[in-house]
Chain A
C-alpha cells in the first residue's frame, strides 16, 4: 500500500450511528493531525465510546466516512482496525488473567503452529519496543499478579506490537494512582515523539490540559467544539461539555464532629479464596462528619464497605453502630442494619443499587420492601409506593418523573439519584456511600455533592468511598487512605492534596521504610 501522505492520521466525515431510538453519533466530523495527542471529552452518554467503537470496528456507522492517513477506509472488525494501524487500550483491560504478559501480547498474533519459536521472536521484538518507549514489563508473570498500571502498559505494548500508529486510550487513568498516571503520560510523550498519533478519551479536564495538543468536545451525540488546548481553559471546556456554566464547589461550613456514630475496631475481612482483603482497620465517624476513604480501587475499600453494610461477613474485629455492637459471631444482615439506622449507597448501582428491569418506583423500595407503610395484608401498596416515588423524584429532580419507567431507561445520573433519594429519605444515622458520582454527568455531580453535604450538616455520620480524589478532597472532613487492605494514613481536609494522598495510596512511606 502506498500511503498517500496526509496531514491527518484520522479523519471522520459525517459519522452517524443510531441505536433504535437513540441517535448516539450525529454527523460527527473530526480531524486528527498525525503525531498529535488529541483529547475527546464529553459527559457519559455523550457518544464518545460509540465513536471509538466505530473507529475500532466494533460497530459500523450508519452513514459517513472514515479516512486513515488520507485513505478512505471502511473498518468492520478489530482485525481490520489493527491492519489499518489502529490500536486500542480499553477502559477495562482485555487481558486473560492467568496468561503471562508475553502470552497476552501474542494472543491473536501467534504466528505459525510452533508457539515456542514465535514466542522467542515476540520476546525479542517486545524487548526492543520496551527499550525504545520505556515500557518495561515482566513478560513471564501472569497478569493477575501485576498492578493495574503494569497491565495497562501491557495493553499499550500489545497495540504497538501490532504496529499501531494510532493509539486510542479510553479513560486510561481511571484505575491509576496519580503517580502511575504521571508515568503513563511520560510514556505517551515518548510515543508522540516517535510520531504515534494518540487519541485520549477522558472526562478529566486536568488530563486534557496536561497532555493534549487539541481537544474535541462531544455533547448529546454531537461534536460541539474543537479547540487547541493551549487556547482554552478548564472552565470553558466544562461549560462546553455540560452546555451551561458549572459551579464546581459545594459550600462547606465549619462544624465540629459530634459523638461517634460508627466505630470500627480492628476489622478484618477474608474473601472466599482465603485472601485477606481488609487488615485490622480501625476508624470512627462522628455525627455531622464526612470521612473520605481514598485508595486505588481494589485495595480493600469495596470489601470494607460491603462488610460494614452486612453484604459480606467480616472475620475479626468489631463494629459499633450507635448502641449496637456487631462482631463476627453476632453479625447482622443488611435488612437488620437498615433497621438500626444504616443506609448504603452501593458502589455499583447496576450490580446492587437497582433492579434494572423493575419500574423506577419498585427499585425505589429496594431494601425497604418489608416496611409497614408499603405493605397491606397480602399485597404491596402500589399507590403509596408510586406517590412516594413521585415526591422524591420532584425533590431530587429525577428525570423523567414517570414512576413506571423501567429503571434501566434512566441515564446514569438519574439512576444514581434514585438510589441516593431512597437511602437519604430513609433518614439514616450512618450513611455509607460508594462512588456517588461514578458515571454521572457533571451537572448532576454538584447536585449529588450538595445532598451529601446537607446530610452532614444535618448531623449524620457519612463514610464516602470514591476513586475520584477531587471528590474526596472536596467533601471530606477527614480522609483515610487504604492500600493493600490497610489504612496507610489519615489526613484532615486542610492537609490533604493530590501529592500526599497519592503517596499514601501507593503506601510509599512504608516501602521506603522497609527498603
Chain B
C-alpha cells in the first residue's frame, strides 16, 4: 500500500465510520440511562427511516434539503469561508419563490413558471449572501459574524412580510395563499406512476434528482474548471492566489453567491415540492444541519450525499422513534444528532493519530529525502 493511499482511506472511510460509531456508542449509553432498550430503539429508527415506502420518501425528502445546504457550506469552505448563513439564505430563497409564484401562477404555464421560481430561489439566496460577502471582501467584516446576523435579519424580515404584506387577508396563520397547481413539482409517486411503478405518496419530489444534479455540477465546477481552481487556490493559500494574479475579493464574492444560491434551493424542495405556499419557518434547521453535513461529508459532493442521507434518516427515523417510544422525546433525537455532529464535526480528528499509527504498519518505510 502506498502511503498516500493509506492516508486517503483513513480520511475518507475509516475516520468518519469510527466517529459515527462513537456517537452511536454514546447514544446507547444515554438510552440505557433513561431505561430504553437501545437495540429496540435502533430497530425502530432504521425501520422508520428505510422500512417502508412512505418512510423512505420522507427520508429522501429531508435528505434533499441537507444536500442543498451541505453543498452551500462546502463550496464556501473550499474558498476558505465559513458560511453560517445557509438558514437565512434558504429562507430568503423562499421569498423569491413566493414572489414569483404569487405574481405569475395565474397565467404562466408550469414549464416557464417552475424554472423561473427555481431561478428566483437561487438569485434571492445569492443576494442574501452577497451582502456579507461584500462586507468580508471589501470591508473586512468577518463572514461568520455577518452571516449569523443575517439569519436573524432574514427571520425578522420574513415574519414582517408574512404578517403585514404577503399573508392572506382574514387568515390567522402567517402564510400566503396557496400556490396554483401549475407551480407544483411532480412527486416521486407521480413520476414513478408514469412508468406504472406504484410508490406510496410522500413529500419526496423531483427536487431530489435536482439536488443530485447539483452535486455533480458542484463537483465539475470545483475540480474541473479554472474558476474552481482559482476558488480552491484562494481557500488553500490566499498568498499564492495573489501571486497567481487571482483577486481573492472576486473569489469571495463568487463563492458566496454560489453558496447562497444553493442554500436558496431548499425553498424549491419545500415550497414548490411540498408546502405549496410561503410560510413561516419552513427552513428550520436545514441551514445549520448543512454545516454538519458538509463537515461530515468532507466538503466533497459524494460525502455530502452520504452525510445528508444519514441526517435525513435521523430526521425521519427519529420522528417515528419519538412517536412510538414515549420515553424518547423529540429532544432526545436532537441529542443523537448533536452527538453525531460532536464526534464527526468538532472531534473529527480525534482518532487520527491512532489510525495513522495503525496504518503505518502496513506501509513500507520511506526515508525523507
Contact = CB atoms under 8 A, between A and B. Distances in A.
Interface of A: 18, 20-24, 26, 45, 47, 220-221, 309-311, 333-338, 344, 346, 351-358, 362, 365-367, 369-370, 374-375, 378-380, 382, 399, 405-406, 409, 411, 441
A369 B244 CA distance: 8
Given A337-B245, A352-B237, 15 more contacts: A20-B3, A20-B356, A21-B364, A45-B368, A220-B368, A220-B369, A221-B368, A351-B239, A352-B242, A355-B236, A356-B236, A367-B243, A378-B220, A379-B220, A380-B224
Contacts, number: 104
A492 B20 CA distance: 67
A365 B357 CA distance: 35
Interface of B: 3-4, 220, 224-226, 229-230, 232-233, 236-237, 239-240, 242-247, 356-357, 360, 363-369
A24 B367 CA distance: 7
A21 B243 contact: no
Contacts of A379: 220, 224-225
- List 5 A-B pairs, minimum CB-CB distance, nearest first: A335-B245, A367-B244, A334-B245, A352-B243, A379-B224
Given A379-B220, A380-B229, A406-B4, A354 B245 contact: no
Contacts of B236: 355-358
A405 B244 CA distance: 21
A205 B21 CA distance: 55
A23 B367 contact: yes
Given A352-B239, A378-B225, A310 B367 contact: no
A434 B243 CA distance: 13
A370 B229 CA distance: 10
- Describe B's contact surface by its main secondary structure: helix
B226 A21 contact: no
Main SS class of interface, A: loop
Contacts of A409: 4
A258 to B, nearest CB: 28
Contact of B244 (A24, A357, A366, A441): A366
Given A310-B245, A369-B226, A380-B229, A354 B240 contact: yes
A380 B226 contact: yes
29 contacts: A21-B366, A22-B365, A23-B366, A220-B369, A310-B245, A333-B245, A334-B245, A335-B246, A336-B245, A337-B245, A344-B243, A346-B243, A351-B237, A351-B239, A352-B240, A353-B243, A355-B232, A355-B240, A362-B229, A366-B240, A369-B229, A370-B226, A378-B220, A378-B224, A378-B225, A379-B225, A380-B226, A380-B229, A411-B368
A192 B365 CA distance: 40
A367 B245 contact: yes
B241 to A, nearest CB: 8
Contacts of B369: 45, 220, 399, 411, 441
Given A355-B237, A380-B225, A21 B3 contact: yes
A351 B240 contact: yes
Nearest to B228: A380
Given A346-B243, A351-B239, A382-B224, A366 B368 contact: no
Contacts of B232: 355, 358
A130 B360 CA distance: 49
Contacts of A370: 226
B240 A353 contact: yes
A144 to B, nearest CB: 22
Contacts of B245: 310, 333-338, 367
A358 B365 CA distance: 24
Contact of B368 (A22, A311, A356): A22
A338 B246 CA distance: 12
